[in-house]
Structure 1
């Protein structure tokens, strides 16, 4: 029985205050709509509190520690700094949501019909009537049946909150989360072992991009096992042993903790009430949506980790903007051609658009250009000469359709190439753009020039 202490009416109900949720709320409020935001945990969602932001703080601090000669680590100070950054970011999100058009409810929202929801706020509840709803409930780490979280078995959330650097750590999963956190703790001094089920770390990226990362991990004394399937675990008071098979051969590894990073599960189960609103679910708990983010119930939208595609904060930002444009009767639809993928490893890895392999598989004749960090003045000055930029363009038109980078500041450099794809720029557009000297951006220009030279031979 749904009994509420009061009933309120809004134009838009946003469930979740992570990157997608708070962006949707902000944009809807800017359009003059009355917006309710429901958040059951912390303002800012996983990304701000236990994901993107705190992990990047630890990554940056580990890098500083490494280049500083690995001396005088005060991990308590590192964690205090991380917490301060998180608090500032969360406070900033809260500030964005404080305006005359937005009301934030701290509690769990559950849909009771396609136009109503109840928000339980710990002893009290509010009934919300809405014209539109944007579901932005995010995701959580996948828990393996044989490796339940607890004790010395950690998810990324617990790993980010460790108060001491582990003496040793086994990471199950060599995707971007496992590599980022594994390498971070290795730099802080942990003995790290990574178990990856595929034939390379960072599956989904071309092998030439992952090789410099694997090389650096080896320099960090990280043991990497590919073709490794974790089967069972034995927990002791002070250690944990993982039994796994490496290409079918039984192996085991022992460490102080195990970190499981095998993906994320969408938060569409539990008490959300999708069935009562008539919203359909697809496989793996994802919500099918159209190109505007609409579910099968046209005035209910879904964005971020609960819809198909990579679980990325910037994808959620983008989908939020499209959804709000759609519900305010503007023509908008998603276009993921220029969606960048970034790994904050050392060196960093970034990709946008099609790879050369993707393009050829689609029957597109391409020309590629590649330029190295090794002779770039800025890279040499930074002692970061490992890496390259590769640009993929249609051979006939020279229009840029993809790019891959491995090297320092790849996460920042990829933006120029994402813009190039978004605006259908050509190789010449990049090559004729004056890039400041000495900068890493010159490597992008040189890659475009290399492609032009190859194309016009």
Structure 2
């Protein structure tokens, strides 16, 4: 068995782990990054990046059919999906290779294999060829991420797939059924619907996107209906039978059993932390009631020299949140006075239209006992949105009625994910409505909608009626 001794080990090279390793190395800490499969983690390999690549392709494909609106005549588009997947895979390969280079160029070491915690100061790494390395460390950052939740009665196989399988299909199905109407399922659903597939959504709750702002749910429900999705809410997938070319799915809906003939059933009911099988018990690391590793505001576990970041450490399970935590854990290990004190973390859903939120929703703000002001500005009243022929959606700002402090922002529409950055910075810096409403925003741009929504919350709107 080989032996290594380092100051700090990072277990997992996802968006939290590789960032932590780079920052540790930048701070002069002797660092080893251990990864068993994916540089860039699920996000880069079978999540955020490949899904956004396919979303881009799907939107581009659909947009060709709308060119007549601009006076552009184009032949009926066709798609070679094998080329699409090859392009997506090439993109992922370039980015993952870039991450490994960044890690090593910054001075961290890399060890490929499956890491198992053996105690509070040592780790065993087994490589694919069966060779083992014993690693002794002073500090450990656990960044093992999460995996799709699988339903026991729907085991993943040829026709029952999860989000990873849906991103890797080599054909565009005639029909896809999604079990789960949350953000992961809807993102995938929009991809294949735009590419020509019929899509059915089976959701146990009373609406799609459970837990989201009520105006977001209304907008998405309208869009799904307009897009001719079949949406079954308050429904339960009971079982299935594989056929020669697909699946017969049995769904209980409104007290009756329905049979859905579909090419693929994609299970998208959430994600679970990867805490099993990594040796947490060997170091006495505590989990919370939801199976996440317990951490404090410096990302430490109950074992002072062991840290946890990203999906494995709790909500929000978002790549950018993991990266934020990775830098903080590195700073703490290097002896800096750092801690996780962000007021808010933005979230984006890359459906069509996009959805982006930060801070409190309207319902959450009301439930806190505050009196609030709400300003809602539609993109349909914005010149840039009209010029781009993309006027769906709105910006909604929630503020304290007395102080006018901005509490939350909801954006539905084109480039919502880019626009939410200004709102996030505003809330983080303690912005009030006037900070947004009196800031000169460039014209014509989509960012004007934030300014206009702030004015609306004050009753001073110019381009919509108050």
- TM-score, normalised to structure 2's length? 0.94
Instruction: Give 1:416 deviation, angstroms.
Output: 0.4
CA contact under 8 A between 1:200 and 1:207: conserved in structure 2? no
Deviations 1:6-43 (A, max 9, x none): 21111110000000001111111111101101100021
Deviations 1:159-188 (A, max 9, x none): 111111011100000000100001110110
Aligned to 2:401: 395
Q: Within 5 Å, which residues of 2 pair with 1:279-318?
A: 279-318=285-324
The yes-or-no answer on 1:179 pairing with 2:192 is: no
Q: 2:326 aligns with which of 281, 299, 320?
A: 320
The yes-or-no answer on 1:234 pairing with 2:271 is: no
Per mean C-alpha deviation after superposition, the further-off stretch among 128-137 and 278-287 is 278-287
Aligned to 2:383: 377
CA contact under 8 A between 2:342 and 2:428: conserved in structure 1? no
- Give me the whole-angstrom Cα distance separating, in 1, the residues matched to 2:43 and 2:228: 29
Aligned to 1:161: 168
Aligned to 1:332: 338
Aligned to 1:202: 209
CA contact under 8 A between 1:338 and 1:419: conserved in structure 2? no
Instruction: Give 1:336 deviation, angstroms.
Output: 4.8
How many pairs align? 451
Gaps of 5+ in 1: none
Aligned to 2:432: 426
Q: 2:283 aligns with which of 272, 277, 287?
A: 277
Aligned to 2:48: 52
Q: Within 5 Å, which residues of 2 pair with 1:73-152?
A: 73-99=79-105, 101-121=107-127, 122-152=129-159
CA contact under 8 A between 2:154 and 2:239: conserved in structure 1? yes
- Give me the whole-angstrom Cα distance separating, in 1, the residues matched to 2:276 and 2:350: 30
- Give me the whole-angstrom Cα distance separating, in 2, the residues matched to 1:398 and 1:35: 46
Deviations 1:137-158 (A, max 9, x none): 0111111011000020001111
User: Runs of 4+ in structure 1 displaced over 4 angstroms?
Assistant: none
The yes-or-no answer on 1:443 pairing with 2:449 is: yes
Deviations 1:330-371 (A, max 9, x none): 233223532111100000111100012111111122212111
CA contact under 8 A between 1:241 and 1:254: conserved in structure 2? yes
Equivalent position SS for 2:351: coil
- TM-score, normalised to structure 1's length? 0.96
- Give me the whole-angstrom Cα distance separating, in 2, the residues matched to 1:303 and 1:237: 44
Instruction: Give 1:65 deviation, angstroms.
Output: 0.3
Aligned to 1:192: 199
Aligned to 1:8: 4
- Give me the whole-angstrom Cα distance separating, in 2, the residues matched to 1:247 and 1:291: 46
Per mean C-alpha deviation after superposition, the further-off stretch among 379-388 and 49-58 is 379-388
Q: 2:418 aligns with which of 409, 412, 417?
A: 412
- Give me the whole-angstrom Cα distance separating, in 1, the residues matched to 2:221 and 2:372: 28
